[in-house]
Structure 1
Amino acid sequence: MKPLFFAVSLLLATSAAAQTPAPGPAPVEAPRKITASRIILVGDSTTAVQGGWGPSFCAYRVTSFVACINLARGGRSSGNYRVEGSWDIALAEMKSGGFAKTYVLIQFGHNDQPGKPGRSTDLATEFPQNLKRYVEETRAAGAIPVLVTPLTRRIFKDGQLVDDLGPWAEATRKVARELNVPLIDLHARSRAEVIRLGPVDAMRFAQEPPAPHIRDAAKSGTTVEASTPVPVPANATEEERRNLTESMNRTKSAFDYTHIGREGADVFAEMVAEDLATVVPELKRGLVLKAK
């Protein structure tokens, strides 16, 4: 009986195995949907890591759903930012992929003004054409351009804020209208805030506190020269003189009426975030905004 029992058991096991389907290939996971966005900052020192609003924006005004890359550089204009190759770096970053959307905030104007050899651009022709080219190439790279008007300076005369960057801000607005580009009017908002504070209180936005004589002068409603003198050879040409006193590559932290320290960066970065949420609504969930 035992041989018969084992034969029947083997037959049943073989039959059961035959009825069990062979394992198929492992299911392929559907590709994960990329939801994170990226913001790239392009501009001059008033956006850059030292002296600009960019650090506070990247550190405190975006959520973990947004990567923020600051490619702004001090001393750069809409012209030499491209010539030196910085724009090529920004384009490569835009094309690198890995994000649902890439937004590029572009702010120039300070170094496009006259008197800065190798940097200044013509307001009527070069400056707007440079901005248009940045917009077109950003779109061609698959990214979304956002133009930003230049941060105001904090120079006063007879109680009135000197609006020397107004024409560059208006040129930026015009390009935004013509090419249907989202616009952050930082110039208008920063100007209103500096006027509200006045020449003395607005000094707290600088990188370093002013010297006593500079603060005292501002109480009259007119600010005085604040830059630290740079030794200039007596036989220097005008171009050499300007490049020495307005170097593109000299990193410094000092009191002036253009660059900003932590407090100024926090205030103006908040303005940028608020306006960005308005002009690019799909980014709002990725921005840290103060409750109103």
Structure 2
Amino acid sequence: MNRLETKPKLVMAEEAPSKPVTIYLAGDSTVSNYPNSLFPRSGWGQVLPTMLDKEVTIRNFAKRRRSSKSFIQEGRLNSILNSIQKGDYLFIQFGHNDEKVNYPNLYTNPDTTYKSYLKQYIVGARKKGAIPVLITPVQRMSFSSSGRALDTHGRYPAAMKALAKEENVPVIDLASKSKTLYQQLGAVKTKKLFLWLKAGEYPNYPQGVEDPTHFQEYGATQIAKLVIEGIEEQHLPIENHILPKYR
């Protein structure tokens, strides 16, 4: 009598589900969120969530008029460290307000205290098993008379990159990337990135505004794309969560 042969049941391997992850943002006004009452003013951290999938949560702790020093002294870094979990990210962009030598509560020396304050973010994140990522400060809008985009942050970007090398921390050179973008666009088109508005163009700015530091929504989106580009260049695991249209 023939025995019936039974074939082993084919089990389809399922892809391991993605683990939810949170990116914490520590920074200044160029990173922070803004209310509708200030639209179209936006920080790049405000639009970054639109470029990542639903497994990623962005917690934007960036605040206007903060430096690497004042952010810590106000307890804002501690607030992040009390919540951050193993495998999360801490993105750190400071420099705009660290430069303000006439404001001792903000100022840091790029060769000394700037680096020592930034190191506190790195050490704190690593103690919690999180991944610190340094981001050099995005450039302000400034062009020479010949139309050349200028550096606007002195020694701060180089100091941050030096610290990244010393501490073996990923660094996204947003200062360089934004300068290149401005150069490609030219002085006139770069204004479209910034809160550089004509009178009556937006209800929230009836008199218009000419701000070479802060972005309108379109500009914040372009800067956020540069951050995404940096994530990919650094091959951070979070790159797997970038939406296809932004790859």
User: Is TM (by shorter chain) over 0.5?
Assistant: yes
Aligned length, in residue pairs: 216
**SS of residue matched to 1:101:** coil
Aligned partner of residue 58 in structure 2, secondary structure: strand
Note if 1:179 corresponds to 2:167.
yes
2:48 counterpart residue number: 57
Match of 2:219 in 1: 264
Letter in 2 for 1:67: T
1:41 to 10, 25, 31: 25
Structure 1: runs of 5 or more not aligned:
1-31, 212-252
Q: Counterpart of 1:127?
A: 114
Task: Considering fraction of residues, name the structure with more helix.
Answer: 1
Match of 1:83 among 73, 90, 97: 73
Of residues 92, 103, 108 in structure 1, which corresponds to 2:94? 108
* 2:157 corresponding residue in structure 1: 169
Equivalent position SS for 2:19: coil
Q: Secondary structure at the match of 1:255?
A: strand
Q: Report the AA paired with residue 47 of structure 1.
A: V
> What secondary structure is seen at the aligned counterpart in 1 of 2:212?
coil
Computing the radius of gyration over CA atoms, which structure comes out larger, 1 or 2?
A: 1
**Structure with greater proportional strand content:** 2
Amino acid at match of 1:104: L
Counterparts of 2:244 and 2:166, CA distance in 1: 29
Indicate conservation of the 8 Å contact 1:41/1:106, yes or no. yes
Q: Verify: 1:139 aligned to 2:126, yes or no.
A: yes
Q: Which whole-Å deviations, capped at 9, do the CAs of 1:37-94 have from their partners, x for residues lacking one?
A: 1111110011111342011102x11101111111100100010000111111111121
C-alpha root-mean-square deviation of aligned residues, in Å?
A: 2.2
Q: Does the C-alpha gap of structure 1 residues 165 and 133 become closer, same or farther in structure 2, counting only changes over 3 Å?
A: same
1:286 to 230, 241, 246: 241
Query: How many angstroms apart in 2 are the aligned matches of 1:93 and 1:205?
Result: 33
Q: Aligned-pair distance for 1:258? A: 0.6
Q: Give per-residue Cα distances to partners, 1:185-225, cap 9 Å, x unaligned.
A: 111111001111122110001124156xxxxxxxxxxxxxx
Q: Percent identity?
A: 32
